[in-house]
Amino acid sequence: MKNTLRQVFRSGKFVTGFVIFSAILLLAVIYPIISPGNPLQMIGLNSFIKPGTYVSVYDSLNTQRTYTFKLPGAAEKRIDSKLSNEDRLNIKDYLLRFGLPEEAVDIEQTHDLLALWWNNYDPELRLGSTIAENRYFARLDDKLAGIFESEDIEVGELDPDTGEYVRKKMVTETDYVNVSDVANVIRLPLGTDNFGRDTFRELVSAIGTSLQIGLIAGTVATLIGLLLGLLAGYLGGVADDIIMFFSNLFTVIPGFVLLILIAYSIDQSQRGVTTVAIVIGLTSWVWTTRSVRAQVISLRSRDHVNLSKLSGHSLPRLIITDILPYIASYVVMAFILQISSGILAEAGLSMLGLGPKTTDTATLGLMMDWAMRYTAHISGAWWAYYPVVLVIALVSFSLNLMNTGLDQIFNPQLRD
Amino acid sequence: MKGYRKYFTKKIVWFLITLVAAVILNFVLPRMMPGDPVAIIVGRVAAGVNDSSSTQAIYESYQRDFGLDKPVIQQFFIYVKNLFQGNFGKSFSRYPTPVSDIIKSALPWTIGLQFPAIITGWILGNILGALAAYIRKGFDKVLMPVTLFLGGFPAFGMAVILLSVFAINLGMLPVQGGYPAGMIPSFSWTFFTGIIKHYHLPFWSIVLISIGGQSLGMRSMSIYELNADYVKYSRYMGIKDRKIVGYVFRNAMLPQITGLALSIGTMIGGALVAEIIFSYPGLGTTLLRGIRESDYPLIGASTLIITIMVLVTVFLLDIIYGLIDPRVKAAQYE
């Protein structure tokens, strides 16, 4: 046993897979501990808020201390944030259409460019080729208004008694606040999803749930497969025929069709994570059965098994001491693959709208499903689905890698 | 011919058995669930109806539609009789369109997309796998993890990634649908080029996934074969390497055909979900619509057609296998 483990951990493939898998598992376990909170809480009122650090405007205005910095290039940065390179090109495009010669327009010279724009832009002219383009130019004109201004901004408060604005604070160009002084700062490494939930927190919780689904499904499938495989292989005869008939049948009848039929027939209120996991397990035992049976058949007539039989050992003891240790490696390998296919099956099922009940859990499949229903991919909200796809792929990659590593150890013919 | 006849008869009988089993399962599974299936379905359909007498009316009409007032055995025979007539009942969500019409319009899209894609992926995967086994060294070191990664990749994930890169960010290909929106299907050239444009992304996402799954199997098979005694013997005999590789490839191919037959169900399942991402007008999208709109007859028909599609493919693969496996061929000279 110790020797086998040492051998296993010497396989580069297994170790790589193991490290990736453990890292994902640790993230799912540790993150909720260091940063507790409900992963499904809807914190944002907008959907698909992009990743970043959000600082409360209210709190930053009310911060006790402001600091003064005179940074070179601050004004240019401010202008750039309002006027992207694309905007510049579009302005040039407009001016050329207006009839200016090409050499008169230089998109690098912000002041000259905007002077030309303000002199020549006329919303009545409608120089854009489409309505959308005309609207864009109008929006751009609004956005550019006051772009060079550097006057202080006055912050006022409405006096409820007199109905007058009372000046509260002046904000100048060079005022800065320290983020740690601002009471409310949210860090959203992966933005929010369509419901305004913190995607990263949700993802971590979904990893946990999906791994749990994979584990339950894998355990159910492995236990059924092991039992049927042992029965078929050891007993032989009619039992073998019957079991093989069914496992051949379910090899060709696609498991996901059965999964869809069963999942659809279960009332949604009862379709919890465990139920879905068990259903997945119930439809994926075939491979384990087949490989266990094949192994048991070749073991059945070995000398040590016959010896044990002659010594009058009971069937359970015979199976536990003389057969299981020899097929353990296959069962472990099949189990690893079952976990990964269980996670994938849940994802597919959820994409079809048959995943676990949607209100109180997050799974990788459900996150994907919601992102697609709210067309995150079309609105460019990559943070709502890319990380999910990546995590599913990494989990399945790491498990497959572990499986391949084990395969090479236990099937010496495949060794490099 | 005796060997062939025996082999094919066996395969045909097995095909019929699986077909019957699939029909039974499709009939039994939804009816076997705890609780009253009609009540569950009515609960979903009547979610917005408050009036209890209309709920009752819906309930009764569904019960009649399913024939649930009759004994189960009789229900089954009605079900089978309807199947033979190609009658899957009427769609709930697009009443009174017959379900068979919806399926008929979706099926060519799925077949036209998935089979070419899976076969292309299978061929490319086998070539890459055999090359990896033969060349080893650097090629294998790179290819092995890449295909392992691809093989474990969910098909819908690949679909989303290709979609966001090529259709949305680069704007090279259309985002969704099977043909240009607003166009009426016809046999014109513009319609055809439109179809091809819409075909690319779903096609390549399925191909990439299948390459991943297939090349790994081929690699192991080829390594196994390359270490076999006949290869060593041929080497000692001085037979040219290229000829040996030919033998190895052919021997490793056979289990790959069986492997394809065994994994085709899972592959089609994954590809159906990938269809959804592109709103491709095939069976996957039809199934999704059935589930979202609680269109029970549509779901039942889709799952049955998908199963039959898989069974027919497995059967055809078995036949092809029989035609090229030298052992089956040899049996006819016995």
pLDDT tens-digit series, residues B89-132:
777 777 678 888 899 989 999 999 999 999 999 999 998 888 88
Task: Return left, alpha or beta for A272; rule: phi > 0 is left, psi -120 to 50 is alpha, else beta.
Answer: beta
A251 touches chain B (CB under 8 A): yes
- Considering only CB atoms, A397 lies closest to which of B149, B160, B262, namely B149
Burial classification of residue B166, based on how many CB atoms lie within 10 Å of its CB (0-12 exposed, 13-18 middle, 19 or more buried):
middle
The pLDDT of residue B198 is 85
Instruction: Say if residue B180's pLDDT is above 90.
Output: no
- Tell me the pLDDT band of B177, cut-offs 50, 70 and 90: confident
- Considering only CB atoms, A348 lies closest to which of B163, B220, B270, namely B270
The pLDDT of residue B33 is 59
Range of the domain at B190: 2-34+88-331
Are B310 and A267 within 8 A, CB to CB? no
A253 touches chain B (CB under 8 A): yes
Structural domains counted in chain B = 1
A262: which chain B residues are within 8 Å (Cβ-Cβ)?
A: 29, 33
- Considering only CB atoms, A253 lies closest to which of B25, B32, B136, namely B25
Give per-residue pLDDT as tens, A321-339: 888 888 888 899 999 999 9
Task: Indicate the domain borders of chain A.
Answer: 2-43+194-414, 52-68+152-188, 84-145
The pLDDT of residue A85 is 81
Q: Which residues pair with A188 in a beta bridge?
A: A52
Mutate to test the interface with B, among A241, A248, A257 (most CBs of B within 10 A): A257
B332: enclosing H helix or E strand: none
A366: which chain B residues are within 8 Å (Cβ-Cβ)?
A: none
Q: Is residue B315 part of a domain?
A: yes
CA-nearest residue of chain A to B158?
Answer: A389
CATH number at residue B161: 1.10.3720.10
Lowest-pLDDT choice from A186-200, B87-101, B238-252:
B87-101
A380: which chain B residues are within 8 Å (Cβ-Cβ)?
A: 164, 168
Instruction: Say if residue B35's pLDDT is above 60.
Output: no
Q: Is residue B69 part of a domain?
A: no
The pLDDT of residue B16 is 93
Kindly state the percentage of chain B with pLDDT values over 90: 15
Are A257 and B303 within 8 A, CB to CB? yes
- Considering only CB atoms, A347 lies closest to which of B29, B136, B154, namely B154
* Cα–Cα distance, B200 to B167 (Å, whole number): 10
Average pLDDT over all residues of chain A: 86
At the fourth CATH level, which superfamily is domain A2-43+194-414? MetI-like (1.10.3720.10)
Distance from CA of B187 to the nearest CA of A (A): 30
Distance from CA of B188 to the nearest CA of A (A): 29
Instruction: Say if residue B82's pLDDT is above 80.
Output: yes
- Tell me the pLDDT band of B174, cut-offs 50, 70 and 90: confident
Q: Is residue B218 part of a domain?
A: yes
CA-nearest residue of chain A to B296?
Answer: A264
Torsion over CA: A215, B310, B287, A282 (sign): negative
Instruction: Say if residue B152's pLDDT is above 90.
Output: no
Q: Is residue B161 part of a domain?
A: yes
* Residues 328 through 387 of chain A touching chain B, CB cutoff 8 Å: 340-341, 344, 347-348, 351-354, 368, 372, 377-378, 380, 382, 385-386
Residue with the larger pLDDT of the pair A108 and A30: A30
Instruction: Say if residue B34's pLDDT is above 60.
Output: no
